[in-house]
Amino acid sequence: MANTLYDTLFGQHQGKTTPFLQMENGTIITHCDFLELTSQYAHQFCKMGLQPGDRVAVQIAKSPQALAVYAACVQAGLVFLPLNTAYTADEVSYFVENSGARVLLCDAKRADALELIAKSCGAVLETMNADGTGSFTAKAAENPIDFTPVSRTADDLAAFLYTSGTTGRSKGAMLTQGNLLSNCQALVKEWEFTADDTLLHALPIFHTHGLFVATNVSLLTGGKVLFLPKFDLDSLLELMSQATAMMGVPTFYTRLLNDPRFTREAVEHMRLFVSGSAPLLAETHVKFQERTGHRILERYGMTETNMITSNPYNGERRAGTVGFPLPGVEIKITDSSTGEELALGEIGDIEVRGPNVFKGYWQMPEKTAEELRENGFFITGDLGQIDEDGYLSIVGRNKDLIISGGYNIYPKEIEVLLDDKEGVLESAVIGVPHPDFGETVVAILVAEKNTDLDLETIADDIGSSLAKFKHPQRILTLPELPRNTMGKVQKKELREQYKDMFVIA
C-alpha cells in the first residue's frame, strides 16, 4: 500500500542532492538532507508510541526542522497541527485539548508556560527551537535515516488547521491527503511551476498559504525555496535577485511598494508574484504594474478548501477579481436564504465543491452540517459575484471576520472577553481599514450605568490571553450601540463611522 502524499511530495526526492531550502545565510539543505531528518523524526514519533491518525500539535518557529516535522507526520501517517507562534498559552491550551494531541512541540522558552497544559491534556511536551535544537531533535538524532512510509489513502487525514468561528470557538478543519495533493497539483499546472523555479518564501508555515500552497508546490516540482524565517523587507529585497517567484499577502506588496529600492530593474527577471489570504486593493495591483511591469496574480482560498480560484497565468489578470475556479473545482453563487443558485452578475454566497474541500470540523458534526452541504458544496461565508467572462469577485463577507495582515480575527472571541470585564455592559469589535495590515481591530464598549471604564486596564487584561495580532488597536466607548429594529447590533454603521480612523491623509 502507498502513502501517495508522502511519495509525491517527498519520496520522489529520495537520495537526491538537489537544493531544497536555501537559508538567509546561504546554507543549503538538499532534498536528501531534508528527508534524512524527516525519517529520524518519524522514527521518534513511533518511539513515543504515536499511532497513525494521532495529532501532533506544534508551536515552533519557521525552520527546516519545523518543516521536517510536517513531512515526518505525513510519512508516519500522523495528523500535523501547526499553531501560530503568536498564540498565548490560553489559546494553545484550547487547541491541544480540543484536538486530543498526543504531542506538543514548542520552543524551550515556552516550555514552562506550556508544560502543565500539555500534561493536563495528556500530551507529551518536547521542545524544538528556532535554530533546530531542542529535546525532540536531540532524541531523534540517533534514529535511522530511512523510514518506510505508513500506508495512507487519499481520504486519510493529513492535517488539522484551526479556524475561528462566529461563536468564538475555533474549529479544527480536517484536511485529507487527497485535499492537499489535488490542490498543489492544480496550482503547479495553473501557475506553471517547474524544478527551475526558486520561490521566495517569507510566509509563516502554520497556515495554508505558507505551508500547503508555497511549500507543497515547490516540493511537488523539486524547485528551490529561499526560506526566510519571516517577512523582512531588507532580506526580501536582497534575495529577490535569486528568485523566480514569490507568494505573499497584500501587506507584502504594499510594503514593497513603499520602498524606493523596489524597482523595475530589481524584479525584471521574476516570473510570478502571487497574492492571497486577504483582498488585494485594485489600487495596489495597478501601482505594482506601473512600478514593475508585473501584474500580481491574485487567487482566493480558505483553510477549509485550500485554493479555490485563481487569476490566469496566461491571460488577463483582472484587478479586483480572484479569477476562475481551479481545475476540478466548482463554484456557484447562491441566495443566502434559499440556497438557490443565482444568475451571473448577482451577488450571493460563494459555495465551492471539489477534491480540495475538507472533510469537516473535528468533533463538530453540527457545525460541519451547517457549512458543508450533503451535495458536497461548502458555504464559504464570503459574498461574491461572477461576471460575464467568468471572473469571480469577492464583494464582502457573510461572516463576522477581520483579516489583519493576512491573519484572521473573529470579533466574537474578543467580545466574549470584553463583555466579561467589570463595568462593561456590552461590546462590539469591528475591523477598520489600515494602511499596512489592510484591516485592523477596533473595540467599542458600552459601560454599565454610572460606571467609568478603565480602558487601559481592560486592554491589558484581555491582552494577556489573546495573541498580539488580535489586540484592539483602539478601544472606544459609546453610550449605546446602534441596533436595527430586530435589536441586532449594526456593525456596518460602526465600520462606516470609524472607517477613517487609521487613514493617513
Q: Which residues bind ligand AMP (CB under 6 A)?
A: 163, 208, 276-279, 298, 300-303, 322, 380-382, 394, 397, 403, 408
Using CB under 6 A, which residues numbered 276 to 315 contact ligand MCA? 276-277, 301-303
Task: Say whether residue 356 binds ligand MCA (CB under 6 A).
Answer: no
Strands of 55-59's sheet in order across? 124-127, 103-106, 55-59, 79-82, 157-163, 171-176, 360-361
Q: In angstroms, give the least distance from the CB of 397 to ligand AMP.
A: 6
Order of strands, sheet of 198-201, starting from the edge strand that comes earlier in the sequence: 28-30, 19-22, 224-227, 198-201, 245-248, 272-275, 297-302, 306-310, 324-325
Q: Tell me how many degrees the CA angle 477-479-480 measures, rounded to the nearest 5.
A: 100
Contact call for residue 230 and ligand MCA (CB under 6 A): yes
Comparing CB distances to ligand MCA, the nearer of 78 and 203 is 203
Cα-Cα-Cα-Cα dihedral sign, residues 397, 401, 404, 405: negative
Q: Which stretch binds ligand MCA (CB under 6 A): 63-71, 115-123, 207-215, 490-498?
A: 207-215
Burial (CB < 10 A; 0-12, 13-18, 19+), residue 375, is exposed
Q: Select 86 or 124, whichever has its Cβ closest to ligand MCA.
A: 86
CA distance 273 to 275: 7
Residue nearest to ligand MCA (CB): 405
Least gap, CB of 451 to ligand MCA (angstroms): 28
Task: Select the binding partner of residue 445 from ligand AMP, ligand MCA, none (C-beta < 5 to 8 A, by kind).
Answer: none
CA 225 vs CA 60, 129, 153, 299: distances in Å: 19, 21, 28, 20
| Phi, psi angles (nearest 5°) of residue 365 | -60, -35
User: Is residue 209 involved in binding ligand MCA (CB under 6 A)?
Assistant: yes
Whether residue 477 contacts residue 444, with contact meaning beta carbons closer than 8 Å, is answered with yes
Q: Which is nearer to ligand AMP, 379 or 458 (CB)?
A: 379
Of 347, 3, 27, 301, the closest CA to residue 152 belongs to 3
How crowded is residue 116: how many other Cβ atoms within 10 Å of its Cβ? 12
Q: How far apart are CA 110 and CA 60, in angstroms?
A: 10
Sites for ligand MCA among residues 425-454 (CB under 6 A):
437
Among 216, 277, 268, which Cα is nearest to 243's? Answer: 268
> Considering beta carbons, is residue 6 or 437 the nearer one to ligand MCA?
437
- The answer to the question of residue 249 lying near ligand MCA (CB under 6 A) is yes
- Of 325, 331, 328, give the one whose Cα is nearest residue 350: 331
198 binds, among ligand MCA, ligand AMP, none (CB under 5 to 8 A by kind): none
Question: What does 359 bind: ligand MCA, ligand AMP, none (CB cut-off 5 to 8 Å by kind)?
Answer: none
Least CB distance to ligand MCA at residue 213 (A):
7
The three-class DSSP label of residue 487 is coil
In angstroms, give the least distance from the CB of 11 to ligand MCA: 25
**Residue nearest ligand AMP, Cβ-based:** 303
The entry of ligand MCA, ligand AMP, none near residue 279 (CB within 5 to 8 angstroms by kind) is ligand AMP
- Angstrom distances, CA of residue 189 to CA of 23, 135, 221, 268, 271: 27, 40, 10, 23, 15
Cβ at position 260, least distance to ligand MCA in Å: 19
- Min dist. Cβ of residue 380 to ligand AMP (A): 5
The answer to whether residue 203 forms part of the interface with ligand MCA (CB under 6 A) is yes
Q: Measured from the CB of residue 317, what is the shortest distance to ligand AMP in angstroms?
A: 12
Angle at which helix 111-120 crosses helix 89-99, to 10 degrees, equals 30
The binder of 468, among ligand AMP, ligand MCA, none, by C-beta within 5 to 8 A per type, is: ligand MCA
Helix (H) or strand (E) holding 378, with range, is: strand 378-386
Chain residues 391-420 in contact with ligand MCA, contact rule CB under 6 A: 404-407
Contacting positions for ligand MCA (CB under 6 A): 203-204, 207-210, 230-231, 249, 251, 276-277, 301-303, 404-407, 437, 468-469
